[in-house]
Amino acid sequence: MSWSFQVSPVPADEFDEAIDAARVVAQANIDAYNPDGADQADKAVAVAKTLVASGVVGGKKAKVGANLAGHGNPEHAPKDGWANDTVSINVYQAS
């Protein structure tokens, strides 16, 4: 199975708190369905935070949201019959 979670649009200066809260809520599903994806989810959160903090997504006064998803195989190695590892990070400005 895979993992995913989202952050509804919030002011950019509240994004870190919002994505951390979303990650905590997602943990139970990640543990149950894709524990090998937990490190991917942590890295995706860090990347999303970096993008928002840099101001490249609407600037520091924008409202921003995010959709994060992925799939992690055991030891992040290919496995016959399983999906390949993937991480998707979508950070967007909301008007």
Please write the tens of the pLDDT for every residue from 71-87. 999 999 998 998 999 99
The predicted structure's pLDDT at residue 45: 98
The predicted structure's pLDDT at residue 57: 94
The predicted structure's pLDDT at residue 7: 98
**Alpha-carbon span 27 to 23, nearest angstrom:** 6
**Alpha-carbon span 2 to 10, nearest angstrom:** 25
DSSP per-residue codes, 7-33 = EEEEEGGGHHHHHHHHHHHHHHHHHHH
The predicted structure's pLDDT at residue 76: 92
The total number of structural domains that make up the chain: 1
Q: Which residues of the chain have pLDDT under 70?
A: none
The predicted structure's pLDDT at residue 66: 98
**Alpha-carbon span 74 to 64, nearest angstrom:** 33
Residue 62 belongs to domain spanning: 3-94
